[in-house]
Chains A and B, each alone.
Chain A
Amino acid sequence: MALRRKNNSNTASGLNISVKKNGAEYTFLLNGRLDTLTSPDLDAEVKNVIDKAERMIFDLAKLDYISSAGLRVLLGAVQGIDGRGDMVVRNLSQAVRDVFDLTGFSLMFTIE
């Protein structure tokens, strides 16, 4: 049976970003929605570290929603680190996985 929503939590706007640094490895833990309004915040966090990072990990376990605006930030990140390091995306929720599959992003990233 399909999951059914008990409330409209996925419309609660906002994104929490926590960044953990371990040497030149940066882990971005995203909680909430990565949409037109919140993507610039993640973009700024990524740009802060992209010149120093040798590995970037995006943990999407608590990401409920992603639109093309969010995909663009992830694409910018993987293109930015290309040649100097690698990038991993992990713990996709089904909703986010659907978007990745639809757009071919599942094939582009290392997904754990």
Chain B
Amino acid sequence: MKELVIEADRNNLPEVQAFIDGELESADCPMLTQIAIDVAVEELFVNIANYAYSPETGNAVVQISMHDEPLSVEITFIDGGRQYNPLERTDPDTTLSAKQRKIGGLGIFMVKESMDQVNYEYKDGQNILTIKKNLN
């Protein structure tokens, strides 16, 4: 398992994604899968940056580990900000026309749809969100 501890600031997004990409490239992750994971990482990190500690700031912990059988990656985001389970957010209605579509809720919806597993728990004052994606 590798870990990055970083200030939960949206400007740190490139550093978080570079950390994740480094691991995925070592695992020879297919490009489209890597991009899908990058998008999920962006949505979750930016969520923490925007809401967890606002208006104060704090750290986010990002952990990544690779697993075999099936070959998969597990990424965990931990923050000590206000308790919030993004998975409880109502999914957007993807059948609505452009005129009727609302702008919110898209990010977490994409995470839920594109990853193979998404799990949230609140433990010892920390939000812990884990995503898992098969690489094949």
The residues of A with any CB-CB pair to B shorter than 8 Å are 2-5, 8, 10-11, 13, 35-37, 64-69, 71-72, 75-76, 78-79, 82, 94-95, 98-99, 102-104, 107-109
Contact = CB atoms under 8 A, between A and B. Distances in A.
Contacts of A67: 39, 42-43, 107, 110
Given A36-B46, A68-B43, A75 B31 contact: no
Interface string B17-53: 1100110010010111111101100110010000000
Contacts, number: 99
Given A64-B35, A67-B110, A107-B94, 10 more contacts: A3-B32, A8-B22, A36-B46, A37-B11, A65-B39, A67-B107, A68-B106, A102-B114, A103-B92, A104-B95
Contacts of A68: 43, 106-107, 110
B13 A79 contact: no
Interface residues of B, number: 37
Contacts of B67: none
Interface of B: 10-11, 13-14, 17-18, 21-22, 25, 28, 30-36, 38-39, 42-43, 46, 92, 94-99, 101, 103, 106-107, 109-110, 113-114
B98 A79 contact: yes
B113 A102 contact: yes
17 contacts: A2-B31, A3-B31, A10-B34, A10-B38, A35-B13, A36-B13, A36-B42, A36-B46, A65-B39, A67-B43, A69-B107, A75-B98, A99-B39, A102-B114, A103-B106, A103-B113, A107-B94
